[in-house]
Structure 1
Amino acid sequence: MSTPDFLAGARAVVFDAYGTLLDVHSAVQRHTRAVGSDAKTLSDTWRQKQLEYSWVLSLCGRYTAFWTLTERALDYALARHPNVDPSLRPALLEAYRRLDAYPEVPATLDALQAVGLKTAILSNGDTAMLDMAVRSAALHDHLDAVLSVDPAGIYKTSPRAYDLAPERLGVGIRETVFVSSNRWDVAGAAAYGFTPVWVNRTGQPDEYPDLAPVQVIDSLNALLR
């Protein structure tokens, strides 16, 4: 594998988990037939509220485990979509615990490790839900560390959350490439001083022009050449 320019000088590649390595919409997709025609909008609402709750709590100086926010966000999404059978709640939550990894993820992580780079997750997910998700997707053996923001007690994009990666991995901030599918997370990583890469799988318009990624890719395959 030849390495892209943005990996030059890097010692670690740190990934966001939800939406970057793990497909957050796969939970609802597994139950599309039961959910019905509102499946896509239900999943979109669930994800948006999950993130919104994390931002609001962080700005308020409060912290609640991400799994609790995930449950609350689903409750809101079900309330907004009354045509969806609310008895699906337990099945949807169980599916969220065991999200599908994007197909290119294992090979990407292995290839990065093969050239001497440390690989890690830094996620808003709490420790328990992250552990289950990573084991379910069979990714543990492909990662040097799985880091939750739990010890920081605040969500990304707080610098205190990003501090966890260099501290745990023993690498410098400038030696860390941070990869996320969430443009707000890329902005936070850029502000912190990481080398940020945006995985823009769905062709979303750019935001935060003063906090730009060094590279925009449409798949993790672009980390390999």
Structure 2
Amino acid sequence: MTIRAYVFDAYGTLFDVHAAVRRHAGAIGPQSQRLSDIWRTKQLEYTWVRSLMGRYRDFWSLTEEALDFAIAAAAPDAASLKPDLLDAYRELEAYPEVRGVLTRLKASAKLAILSNGSPEMLDTAVASAGIGDLLDEIISVDALQIYKTAPSVYDLVGERMGVPPEAVSFQSSNRWDIAGATAYGFRTVWINRTGQPDEYPDLPPVAVMSSLEGLGE
């Protein structure tokens, strides 16, 4: 079936999740990359734990809690930078190819974000990146109060965009997200920006790319 919608994860796929720490790396010191890695790992861990418990907290709250842990674990002396890091996370940089790729795809299909991010987070990031004019939908899990990879999250695409799963190309940098979307029935493309080894071999993507360049060609 012809692809009628390209749907993108936001954080790590369109927006560089390490850009916030990188902006303040000099002030943080040699532990900056470790802090950033822990921040991202804990942010995601908290979504899965909260979903399994049925005790939802929005993604911004989890992002802040994950930063608290990351600072304590990696760079306690950087605690005073917490407000600056959170402000930087609200306006993460988009990867360089994002606007060009979305502009090209927009000519033939609907475009959307499907993200764990809270609505306010996503609106701010999209506006900061200057890509709002290219998106037909910005879909947040906040409407359901459960995180990916719950199948009900992927249901939101059809409900909001009116397209069946087999007509959706779903892109994510997160292999676990690709596994969930594949199980759901989307055509999936893993954007493996950092050359990670494959996981979930029983739920493979149709393609693996190092960036969004070339998507849909």
Hey, what does 1:180 align to over in structure 2? 172
Q: Within the alignment, does 1:189 sit opposite 2:181 as a pair?
A: yes
Match of 1:137 among 115, 123, 129: 129
Equivalent residues in 2 for 1:46-57, closer than 5 Å = 46-57=39-50
Hey, what does 2:29 align to over in structure 1? 36
SS of the residue corresponding to residue 146 of structure 1 reads: strand
State the shift of 1:164 in Å.
0.7
State the shift of 1:83 in Å.
4.7
- Give the distance between the partners of 1:49 and 1:222, measured in 2 at CA: 32
Hey, what does 1:126 align to over in structure 2? 118
- Give the distance between the partners of 2:215 and 2:181, measured in 1 at CA: 18
The one-letter code sitting in structure 2 at the alignment partner of 1:220 is L
Q: Within the alignment, does 1:163 sit opposite 2:142 as a pair?
A: no
Ranges in structure 2 where 5+ consecutive residues have no aligned partner = none
SS of the residue corresponding to residue 189 of structure 2 reads: strand
Hey, what does 1:4 align to over in structure 2? none
* Residue-pair matches, total: 217
- Give the distance between the partners of 2:163 and 2:76, measured in 1 at CA: 50
Match of 1:205 among 183, 192, 197: 197
> TM-score when scaled to structure 2?
0.98
Identity of aligned residues (%): 59
- Give the distance between the partners of 2:141 and 2:50, measured in 1 at CA: 14
Ranges in structure 1 where 5+ consecutive residues have no aligned partner = 1-7
The one-letter code sitting in structure 2 at the alignment partner of 1:158 is A
- Give the distance between the partners of 1:10 and 1:159, measured in 2 at CA: 20
- Contact 2:170/2:186 (<8 A) preserved: yes
Alpha-carbon displacement from aligned partner over 1:147-177 (angstroms, at most 9, x marks no partner): 1011111000000111111110111111001
Equivalent residues in 2 for 1:79-90, closer than 5 Å = 79-90=72-83
Alpha-carbon displacement from aligned partner over 1:152-211 (angstroms, at most 9, x marks no partner): 110000001111111101111110010000000000000111011000111100000111
Q: Within the alignment, does 1:9 sit opposite 2:2 as a pair?
A: yes
Match of 1:110 among 97, 103, 112: 103
The one-letter code sitting in structure 1 at the alignment partner of 2:70 is A
Hey, what does 2:11 align to over in structure 1? 18
